Structure 1
Amino acid sequence: MTSVESLALQDGELPAALIAEVEQRWQSLLEHCDSDQAQWYQGFARSARRIELLQALACSHTLFEFCVRHPDWLPNLDAAGLLENSIASARWRAELSVACARCENADDLAQVLRQFRNRHWLRIVWRDLNRLAAMEETVADLSHLAEACVDVALDFLHRQLSAERGEPQSKAGEPQQLVVIAMGKLGAGELNLSSDIDLIFAYPEAGETVGAARSVDNQEFFIRLGQRLIKALDTRTADGFVFRVDMRLRPYGQSGPLVISFDALEEYYQDQGRDWERYALIKARCIAGDRAAGAQLLDQLRPFVYRRYLDFSAIESLREMKSMIQREVLRRQLQDNIKLGAGGIREIEFIAQCFQLIRGGQEVALQALELQTILRELAAQQYLPTDVVAELIEAYRFLRNTEHAIQAWRDEQTQQLPSSDTERCALALAMGFGGDWPAFAAALTEHRGRVSRCFANVIAPVETEVERPHLSHQRWRSMLDDLDQDEVRATLEEAGFDAAEEAARLLVALLNGASVQRMQGRGRDRLYGLLPLLLEDLCGVSAPTATLLRLIPLIEAVLRRTAYLVLLIENPGARGRLVELCDASPWIARQLAAHPVLLDELLDARSLYSMPDQAGLASELRQRLLRVESGDLEAQMEALRYFRLAHVLRGAASEVTDSLPLMKVSDYLTAIAEVVLAAVLDIAWQNLLDKHGSPVPDGDDRRHFVVLGYGKLGGLELSYGSDLDLVFLHDLPTTAVTDGERSVDAGTFFTRLGQRIIHILTATTRLGALYEVDMRLRPSGNSGLLVSSFTAFSDYQQNQAWTWEHQALVRVRAVAGDGVLAEKFADLRRQILCKTRPQAALVEEVIAMRQKMRDHLLLGVNKNTEFDLKQGEGGIVDIEFMVQYAVLAWSHQHPPLTHYTDNIRILESLNNNGLISSADTQALIDAYKAFRSQAHRLSLQEQKGRIAIAALGAERKNVSRLWQQLMLST
């Protein structure tokens, strides 16, 4: 090797902050070169193009690392003229096809794909950082690169799998190919340096393979092919990965099949497609496989995306989406994120896509994929002023160049502005500001400000008149300006406050407290602007002082986040709903004080009191999780917690305002839990796949894992503070192992899956825990395995379980996971419950367990003055035990008793089977509803589940009478 010579950097060639770093990289690079390579680099460093080398080494650590590992790449690219010139779009696939023709197996393919990607990534970054390519060429090259990798890999893997399993054909004998639909940035041909690629897999028609010893149906073939394609692209090897693949935009998300037929895909969007899925499909494009069939599929889906008329019905959902974007920026503190923050890339995309959804059905030109094309069309058709569009396009280019410069530094999927001085200097250098961070930051702020102004005006909120100060507000302002406690008391008393002296003490203590005294002028003005409005609203509630007491913790919680004070000042409806709900329930007040972000939910009465069904809940949560990076567990956990808090608040608001009956509230709270559990399972499963690979054989689309919900969850009777009684099962053989680099057996995989699920559910984050989890109902309780095999669980239930464990089976059902295993469990449950049992022994055991519970759980209750709704004699648990006894005693003669897991429908089934009279059935149902309704109300009032001994006397007598009749006369 030749001697290592210095770069001999001259004044002004690089910012001072980067000189030492670049010199060090240069020395390291030359040390890894052979003599010819070192000679090329040293010659290049002395040439007229020297500044290109300096710029690349200074602004991309990953480019430097690629050069160190492959010092021949840059010389070869330069010799081929590829550093200075563009590449024709057709050349990408042709070049990769030649390289892959030499591959003999999947490992060879993986290495070729990764080296192809990395070599071209180096070339693209070199050209981008040196402005040898415009931003438009950079994103096009990255998209061509990804498209070539997907297409060539798919061809190779299809041939390989066809040799094993035969060629897939339709029932009419027509050959079938997988269709790969790209969404998002790849669909639009606008990929960034470190983008995921969002894909959907589909195939044209049902059928099976031909030409192999054993045929398989087309879906199984294409699922296996899709799995291999993802593995070829996404798995990290010694050469890195090709592209991270995100399949969450497919129908039903991670819980849906990996590949479905065209008919099933079209049916899904027609029957279940949501507005956000219309939004996602705007950029859909077929990039691999049967492109003609893919184009036909997208044509079939076009009516779902683009209505044939001016779709003003989309305005409301777009307005909600816009509001969600703005709240998310505030909640996640994304101000320094140039994609998601205010005035960022996503806001520009949203502006364009708003017009596409509303007018795209009539204006075909607006159905284009590329963002700049759409923006220019908006100017041409005068939907936006020409100067505004020019500003948006200029800002978009600036932001995308900034995004690429951030990602070039370490090939990381981030749009966050750097915080270290070195990275900031490199970013400012890459952006043409000579390393001057303040100058770059000022230009960035200017562009983002222009975007924000346009974004604020698109799909503007419904105009509401900001409440003008009422004459009566003057008394509150005068009172607050003086703040003499006696004067405050007198003013409150005159306004009709009960316990005015206590209210005055609370108010004065708040305003004289250290937190308020430390407030800056603007925040203090906002607080004093809100309080008169709030005090006036309090005059209209039943207990103003008690409600003020409940509101003060919330006010204290937002003193340092005064945007919430502005929210309440400018939104009389939200403020009124806040006062109404806090008057009705201290529990709601405490939730809002603990999580002020929930104030957002009060802005729209329609959504606050609107309870979506379970499919709607699942779609909303899926949409929320899609906005989070798939590998960011902390962000996923926060999204789950916010979703659950917001929807539980909706349920409580509906209950205290009597807009939803008890049974519907319980159904809603149960649906929230089930949707959350399904999402948690998806996240945990993906996390384990990334670490260990899958324990499931290729071509098997099942997960072989199910979550069982016992007790209130199983019985669809969740309340606000309910924990989740869960049991986990799997049905893979113990010999199964995962297919990842860190392979583990199936038992270990599923145990870790269970542990991860519990962690996601119970970990305390900024928004608290999702749910408390109780796993004691699993076989052998806390000493048993966290996850049981189905065989072991079945054996335990058949041969070892206690009677009380069979009682628990009455209220258990599969709530998340594999549908096939859920059916196996349902069959087992029916078998166990339908066993013939000695009646005398059964009733004795049930009564003994009931007494044991009562003795243990009623300690400290004064039975002469209080009635415990749950454990008291003639209460909820007596009804539950009667129902459980009846199912265990009579299901062998009346199997329909096992169909349901909730007490009311089981009681109705007992009546339908002639086992309990209609009058007695109705008496138990009425009592059960009355007890649970009272328990819900007490929960919302943050009181124990106890009532006066004289209350609900008739209901208790009926339950006690029927207990005597059913249990003690048997």
Structure 2
Amino acid sequence: MTTVPGRRSSTFTRLLRHGFTDPSAAERLLDLPELSSVRADPVLFDALGATADPDLALHGLVRLVEAEEPDERQILLDTLVTAKPLRDRLLGALGASEALGDHLARHPRDWQVLVTYEATDLHPGVREFEQMLCDVVDPDSLRVAYRRSLLSIAARDVCGTTDVAEVAAELADLATATLRAALAIARADAPSDAAQCRIAVIAMGKCGGHELNYVSDVDVIFVGEPVDGAEESGALQAATRLVAHMMRICSDTTVEGTIWPVDANLRPEGRNGPLVRTVSSHLAYYQRWAKTWEFQALLKARPVAGDPELGAQYLEAVSPLVWQAADRENFVGDVQKMRRRVVDNIPVDRVDRELKLGPGGLRDVEFAVQLLQLVHGRGDSTLRVGSTLEALGALADGGYVGRADAAQLDEAYRFLRAMEHRIQLYRLRRTHMVPEDEADLRRLGRSLGLRTDPVAELNRAWRRHASVVRRLHEKLFYRPLLDAVAQLAPGERRLSAKAAGVRLEALGYADPAAALRHLEALSSGVSRKAAIQRTLLPVLLGWFADSADPDAGLLGFRQVSDALGKTPWYLRLLRDEGAAAENLARVLSAGRLAPDLLMRAPEAVAILGDPEGLKPRSRDHLEQEVLAAVGRAPGAEAAVAVARGVRRRELFRTTAADIIGSYGTEDNPAETDPGALVDRVGSAVTDLNAATLSGALRAAVRERWGSTLPTRFAVIGMGRFGGHELSYGSDADVLFVHQPREGVGEEEASRAANAVVSEMRRLLELPTADPPLLIDADLRPEGKTGPLARTLKSYGAYYRRWSLVWESQALLRAEPMAGDKELGRAFVELVDPLRYPVEGPGDEAVREIRRLKARMESERMPRGADPTLHTKLGRGGLSDVEWTVQLMQMRHGWAEPGLRTTRTREALAAACAADLIPAEEAQMLDEAWVLASRVRNAVMLVRGRPGDTFPSNPRELTAVGRYLGYEEGHVGDMLDDYRRITRRARAVVEERFYGASG
């Protein structure tokens, strides 16, 4: 074939179009006389262009044709052109595997194994492969027959006749047939040894799991027993000689190559142990010495050759041990450490190309699946399968893995295994490294069906699947619930009525019969929901039991599950998302408030599965959400209902964070700084109430005046509200201030402002099951008899003329919370001179403050209350600390900027920094204030209603103790500690507030 210099022939162009990378060399090959009858046939060009590497396929075809006798050569070429199945199979194999091209060049007649295309030929099993190997008489003929069989598997693989799982299973079946043939050769070579012993070959690893690679060590364990009348030691020696010969037959390298190495290092004691053991010897080793990884390896054990009865006997003996392995101490942690060690041992320059062992590789899928099998397979026999993909499907069917997660893992695993297969098929070498050479990557991509830009498409697909595997591996392999399930005792895994009743009583459930009814309702049936809950409940029961009220926790879980059980994400969240299940257990069993909030908004349980979900949201964020929701609502009452919904959800977020921070979970240890917990709750509830008031204000204004009120309006927080120190049950102390807009008379403005206040209060006081938000405006000028809202000018006039010392003290905590921000700042500027008077309050004012405090102590303490345990008015309680700090603020705030804050702890720290109080005394006051605040929060969490003293109910008192960090049975210590801490604080108050040092 000649061409004009400088011009390309039509054949050259055609070759380029069909994917040849070296069309000049291909032209020369097509010009060979041996291909004269087919060189111009378009069918051949199309078939070559469809292969992974057209250049390689053509080169292999030429070598095959050249190796054939002339008569046979023409038969091959004629069949190649007329029979599409053969053409696709043969050229597909030649274009994907240089090694199979070498085999056909040595054994050209073997192409005929690809001719048949019957349905029975599509998925051969062990019997068909044994027939293909039936004529072997020595190791070399076995190697040739093995490669011939491998050719048939590879051809169907590259043509898409079989999928990756079927290919892996066929390779395992071919390995089985090969082991049987090799053992038969070894027996024939040593009949006297064969007469002394029974041998069983147990496949392990990928061969045992029916998921073998093209080139892989075949892991095995050998079992031997003497035949009747034979002496055991002699029989085992004979068996050892036989299996060693069998291993050499498979492993030795000759001109025909190697079949594959047979690896017996998974046997007891590894390479240091005897090659063959009896069943009893294996059993003794596994019962006494085996490590965790050895039971994981036995998960895929399968008898494949030798004496089938002996193989079955071995499997029957060791299988129960496999499904008891997860009972071992630190089982889950051991498996996780083993996986990490594998990754750590990969050389740094190879880790990014390691398809099997690297992060996001095949082993990540396999380890995650095997760990889940071993943990959950103890009680679920459907999980006791060897294949990774079959096991993954069973885990999804049983609810142990989400269907979406399982589908993504299945897809990723198939893709990565297909990559591994095609990489190994090229030269039939054992490798798991993704090549770096462009030509290799191109061939690999094309072999997987990527044709537009094979290299780029391959890299994108590989990275995408590896990322999915890594993410889901981390999610499944390291999820806390898995370790908790693994730690359950055998009797805890099944919820049989009798055993469960005894167990529930031992765990501390006060009403085991009711608990059993809940368990039955939650776990009975064959639904996916019931299956998942059967997995969750044994663990949850233990977490509920680690609380003051296990019964309430279980009841709450049933109520939440009844409400959300048909919601697909709910149980998936508890099973898969970090510490969500443990968080829910802690929240449901900590008292009434959080579960009550959750029952009215069950979808808020999603907060518990989000790592960021327990963080409080900022006031700006909350206000934006509330105002947007109010703006969409059809009327004022609907608007406030929506605002209440936001408040309900955010209160749940705050209570859940508080409970989990106090109790701690495996993923989130308990907060070690009680002050941080108190500050977080106080700030979160304050911001939430401020946002809710903003929503109520917007709703009240919009209902009557549209977008603009005739007067500018602001809500000023007072008391604990202004101090960002609200507890869950606190009222919102407020003042209302307004300023007439330009052109609006003062009387009209006042009517509008007072009407808005009345409407806000009405809307917020509408009947609801949510925790109330009560507005208390009694700190306003003239108290209950004064107008609800005043102008800024009116406040100024009143404070200049009539203000009492207690009003100056109350204004220490005044801070704008809602409404017109500029007006709020103007109010603060107005009252600053009053609350921080230059040179401080006079002696008479100080005496008046002390008289008011003493009067409050004597008159407001509830009758019968223990003054040593009352958190607000009692000895060393909130009032004592706050009045002491406020007196220092009034005296020194004009000179010390740090004291000009509405927050008690912040002001106390500033006073200490300014040397106004010794650090030791400041610490005593702070500790007492934090403890009293925590007790108030605990009472509300436990009882669902506010209280200023410890509960009298023993179970509630225990729950308060658990919140404060006291174990059950130590409530006496809690009360003693409270009295001690507040007694010390009271001593400081006596000195600093009432005494000369004050």
**TM over 0.5, shorter chain:** no
Please say which structure displays the higher CA radius of gyration.
Answer: 2
Bucket of the pairwise TM-score, normalised by the shorter protein: 0.3 to 0.5
